[in-house]
Structure 1
């Protein structure tokens, strides 16, 4: 009888093959479970969204009337006044918005002329919830900030939530003016308008905007990849952060 006695090396090779096969099977199972879990998560999110929508549509008098908000026309901080944009602000707007370090990072084109700035004020910035940021020291506009509630936001939020957007002229970078304006708009949104959650976003690479959000208490929520930016005619990665009223109250009380 010619028995073949396997060497130690052959037995070890067989064991490696067996372990590799077992590892592949386990990976396949994990991938399958991951796909199933992701699908269930999507289904749950869809159901929650439907429930939230149904709740908003059947609330009150069941007439699908959306909540109304009355915006103040003036907010103040130690150094700033937030007020509605006026067409007479076009000169100051153009002064800063023609700088390509501002608009493109926020997703809009640089302004090409005073007439262009007039047009933007009339068609965009004059909408309810947008404020010119005015420096008290000079009484001149230095930037812009907006509170976009519900369907006015690009983030698909409910009518008890809002998105905050902002920019400031390059000469005023690094002076803490935007965090000052954002914090006041947060206070106004939570304390006076009674909103439940605020959202902020920034495009990949805009580290200045990211720092503003972190400084004001926003925390990372999710990332959107391949977001089409209409004015720039390109796709970008967008990072989204948020803060709810309880979180804001906790931060405010701890700071007091």
Structure 2
């Protein structure tokens, strides 16, 4: 099982079925807030839906095409982050994340994204890491900006959010550019 310590407060652990109840609890408590930016909430109506999601992420990890982790903050699951996909041919990973509402504003996700980027370059020997966020999602966009990712462009109508499309802003950093903070 994957376990990666970022610092004294934060670790990433591969999501397991046993984590589904806590993840669903976080989803429920932040559902209205998260619905503004996350398209999968309508497919996550029960703990069983979350269990099925976790099983799918475990398969993705076993097949070496993704890595979904739970974020452990002071030992408690507070959200998820990971590589939604890994393109081994192009040596690129695509980071995705979400955090429980009550844990936002503590710098957690910036440290997590930095840790994942470090891991991608140091351990996986990838060449590029990308983060995509909806154009209006300023909180999410501030993370790659804070970490020195380059704004590479816009993907028009990249994602359907319940009743409208949103454009995505693409950020990337190359291994040769990565300077840890």
Same fold at TM > 0.5: yes
Instruction: Please tell me whether residue 109 in structure 1 is matched to residue 38 in structure 2.
Output: no
What does the per-residue CA deviation read over 1:218-256, in whole Å, with 9 as the maximum and x for residues that have no partner? 121010112243x736422111110111110xx22xx4x
What does the per-residue CA deviation read over 1:110-131, in whole Å, with 9 as the maximum and x for residues that have no partner? 5322222222212346631111
Q: What is the CA-CA distance between 1:100 and the residue it aligns to?
A: 2.4
Which ranges in structure 2 are unaligned for 5 or more consecutive residues? 62-66
Instruction: Please tell me whether residue 73 in structure 1 is matched to residue 2 in structure 2.
Output: yes
Q: Does the C-alpha gap of structure 1 residues 159 and 232 become closer, same or farther in structure 2, counting only changes over 3 Å? A: farther
Once residues 83 and 132 of structure 1 are traced to their aligned partners in structure 2, the CA distance between those partners, rounded to angstroms, is 5
Residue-pair matches, total:
171
Q: What is the CA-CA distance between 1:104 and the residue it aligns to?
A: 4.2
Instruction: Please tell me whether residue 92 in structure 1 is matched to residue 92 in structure 2.
Output: no
The root-mean-square deviation of aligned C-alpha atoms, in Å, is 2.0
SS at match of 1:183: helix
TM-score, structure 2 length as denominator? Answer: 0.85
Give the number of the structure with larger relative contact order, counting CA–CA contacts within 8 Å between residues 6 or more apart. 2
Higher Rg of the two aligned structures:
1
What does the per-residue CA deviation read over 1:117-159, in whole Å, with 9 as the maximum and x for residues that have no partner? 2222123466311111112x2x2211111112117xxxxxx53
TM-score, structure 1 length as denominator? Answer: 0.61
Report the equivalent of 2:77: 141
Report the equivalent of 1:118: 51
Moved segments of 4+, more than 3 Å: 231-234
Residue pairs, 1:1-256, within 5 angstroms: 73-78=2-7, 79-98=9-28, 99-110=31-42, 111-124=44-57, 127-128=60-61, 129-135=67-73, 137=74, 139-147=75-83, 148-150=85-87, 158-229=89-160, 232=162, 234-248=164-178, 251-252=179-180, 255=181
Higher fraction of helix:
1
Once residues 205 and 228 of structure 1 are traced to their aligned partners in structure 2, the CA distance between those partners, rounded to angstroms, is 12
Higher fraction of strand:
2
